[in-house]
Chains A and B, each alone.
Chain A
Amino acid sequence: MGKKLKQIAIYGKGGIGKSTTTSNLSAALSSLGYKVMQFGCDPKADSTNTLRGGSYIPTVLDTLREKGAVKARDVIYEGFNGICCVESGGPAPGVGCAGRGIITAVELFKQQKIFEELDLDCVIYDVLGDVVCGGFAMPIREGIAQHVFTVSSADFMSVYASNNLFKGIKKYSNSGGALLGGIVANSMNAGYSRDIVDDFAARTKTQIVQYVPRSITVTQCELKGKTVIEAAPDSEQARVYRELAECVAAHEESRTPAPLELRELQEWAAKWSDKLLELETGTVPGGQAAGI
């Protein structure tokens, strides 16, 4: 990766495993020798928990609210293997503007040139759910992240959220915004789920950067407040995350995705629904092999 700072934003539907993937990616990159910062962009402020033994850290915005001014250094906390952990934080649920909070926190870091000062190799932004407003698009706007990865399962709502993200990326792509690196396919256990995400990636002109199976190891490690890389470094799941880290480290060229229009997406989903039904009923052979 050299010393050219690589900034990555990770998006995906809420609950799909973004923070798990991001933390394991950060931990794996760090274990490969890179100096990493993980920047949680979610008012819940729990992105970096598993990098710090399950503990919460004071957020940029809480500190800003209490002290009126924030030195970036004061809100960076050391996590597993020297990873710099930052949480933007945000307002209490139901009040204020979380989107503006993300902008405030990210701008504060950008202005203070802390990434250069810390001699980082990689900054990973873990961004809340869907791109609901301009604030959550902040990390993909000009001058912040260069690459976006989306975490998606084969569930339709997850694919739908990814497609929305692609629309956001496409919108900013003409004004120097981040481009799409690819999809981290998560919860890839059933055989057909690979086919679904592969097909979606092909339709939207992007790629799958890693297939991550659903694993009890992840659950066990998270209950201990740790990443798989830290708590089960020799597990199969850790190998999968290290492979993802190598892939991300080597990744250089992202592209503008080709998001589907709503009607196209619905037709695409209906086609897959029919196909799964045929596999289930045995109208076409191969259902068992596909995990149905």
Chain B
Amino acid sequence: MTETPFHDKPRTSCALGGALAAISALPDVVPIIHAATGCGGNLMNSVAFGAGYLGSSYCSGASAPTSAVTETEIVFGGAERLREQIASTLKLIEGKLYLVATGCMTEMIGDDAGGAASEFAEAGEPVLAISTPSFKGDCYTGYEILLDGIFNRWLRKAGAADPRLINVFGVVPGYDPFFRGDLEEIERIGARLGLKVNTFFSPTQTFENITAAPEAALNVILSRTRCRGFAERFEEKHGVPWWATDLPVGPEATDAFIRELAAKLGIDGAERVVAAENEWYYRYFERTADSYADGELRFYSVTVTNSNYALPLNKYLYRELGWTPAEIFVTDRLEEARREDLLAGFAELPVKPRFVSGSQEIARSIDQGRPVYRGQRYFDALTPLYIVGSTLEKQMALRRGAKYLAVSFPAYDRAIVAGGYAGYRGGLRLYEDLIGSFMSAKG
């Protein structure tokens, strides 16, 4: 097969990008970018458009303060420029925490951003620096670096623990495009169990959720691949144990999540919540049964997502909707041990994920390894096919005549606001979106 030269759009951004997207979702936290001119703006565009038109927020995106270093700072050092920027930001912009996030160039020349931030911190200003050059990793790494900075360096140890308070981490703002809706559903479910839930990054939260985090009884990490080190260091500093699980999508996964969470915390009421939520869920879902069964709405599925969404999404498609997983592509860069962690979760599924991020390789992989037509009477043509991925899969889906929905980054052919696919409500929304996306052609 002749290779056609092509260029591919990215499915991630750099550590600074991940940190900035996350900061933009934290109330009263102001970023100060210590990087070259252009970094802040370009990274803003990444999630402002690519995460379902997430846009920007107070002092994020195009309004983010930046040292915007140029050649003079590169040659002579940019720490002075940074000090100046921190001072003017403190003067002009209200905030409860100012986070200096570094880019590649200032890290390459060894600017002491931490030292500059410390000078302000020692003078009583809430300023903290995190080291987020792209060579440290991608946006997911940046999210973890940010968490480490705020929770494991900046926050002081708490006095007493609150047995009814939990923290939720692992859902990455922007690069998990449904982060707000997903976190709010987890918060809602927690509240039904009588818990207070710090999710930090959704609009229901305030800065006080951040400062209360060390008092939590449990850190819930909604990711098999992210935040391990962060959670361990959090436990070491604040004494809060952690539990890594998957984002629950749909009733079966959410039932299990509720039961396990209640058991971890030693609280009652799980069965009551599960029963009530299932009652609600199935009173909606049962009415879809006729159209679903008679309308031939079952598909082969190909998913293209990051490692956070791969398992929750495929479990839902396979176990809740009865679809047939054909291929599962995981697009983010993972260490071998984290791949193993993720693979372990796929034991019950008939297909194991492949770790591929290039669009061309994904398109080719769908056909490779499949039976080729040799005059068989019944031929597995992989139809009807549904591709659940990012907007980068749209053209491939159109070429194959497959149904298609964007759920992963970059998703720029749909708007995502308060929606999410987590829990019971998210499960119904995912059904609506999957079926609605192609039904919209009718009429």
List A residues at the B interface (Cβ < 8 Å).
61, 64-65, 90-92, 95-98, 100-101, 104
Contact = CB atoms under 8 A, between A and B. Distances in A.
Interface residues of B, number: 14
B72 A95 contact: no
Given A65-B76, A96-B74, 16 more contacts: A61-B76, A64-B72, A90-B75, A91-B75, A91-B76, A92-B76, A95-B79, A96-B73, A96-B75, A96-B76, A96-B77, A97-B75, A98-B75, A100-B74, A100-B75, A101-B76
Contacts of A97: 74-75, 77, 108-109
Contacts of B111: 95
Contacts of B74: 96-97, 100
5 contacts: A95-B112, A96-B75, A96-B78, A100-B109, A101-B76
A257 to B, nearest CB: 29
B75 A61 contact: yes
A91 B75 CA distance: 6
A132 to B, nearest CB: 13
Contacts of A90: 75-76
A201 to B, nearest CB: 36
A104 B70 CA distance: 12
A100 B71 contact: yes
Contacts, number: 41
A95 B76 contact: yes
Interface in B34-84: 71-79
Contacts of A96: 73-78, 109
B163 interface: no
Interface of B: 71-79, 108-112
Nearest to A98: B75
Contacts of B72: 64-65
Given A96-B109, A97-B108, A100-B109, A91 B77 contact: yes
Of A91, A92, A95, A101, the most chain B CB neighbours within 10 A belong to A95
A61 B71 CA distance: 11
Contacts of A104: 71, 75
Of A64, A91, A96, A98, the most chain B CB neighbours within 10 A belong to A96
A95 B116 CA distance: 13
A92 B111 CA distance: 12
Closest 4 CB pairs of A and B: A95-B77, A96-B77, A97-B109, A101-B75
Nearest to B71: A104
A91 B79 CA distance: 12
Nearest to A68: B72
A100 B75 CA distance: 6
Contacts of B109: 95-97, 100
Contacts of A92: 76-77
Contacts of B108: 97
A96 B70 CA distance: 12
B69 to A, nearest CB: 10
Contacts of B71: 100, 104
A95 B108 CA distance: 11
A132 B97 CA distance: 39
Contacts of A65: 72, 75-76
A20 to B, nearest CB: 27
B361 to A, nearest CB: 32
Of B71, B76, B79, B109, the most chain A CB neighbours within 10 A belong to B76
Contacts of B76: 61, 65, 90-92, 95-96, 101
B138 to A, nearest CB: 25
A96 B78 CA distance: 7
A64 to B, nearest CB: 7
Nearest to B79: A95
A170 to B, nearest CB: 25
B373 to A, nearest CB: 51
Contacts of A95: 76-77, 79, 109-112
B108 to A, nearest CB: 7
A280 to B, nearest CB: 45
Nearest to A102: B75
Of B73, B75, B109, the most chain A CB neighbours within 10 A belong to B75
Contacts of B73: 96
Contacts of B110: 95
A64 B74 CA distance: 13
Nearest to A88: B75
Nearest to B105: A97
A61 B108 CA distance: 19
Nearest to A91: B76
A92 B75 CA distance: 10
A104 B78 CA distance: 16
Contacts of A101: 75-76
Contacts of B79: 95
B80 to A, nearest CB: 9
A96 B112 CA distance: 10
A101 B73 CA distance: 10
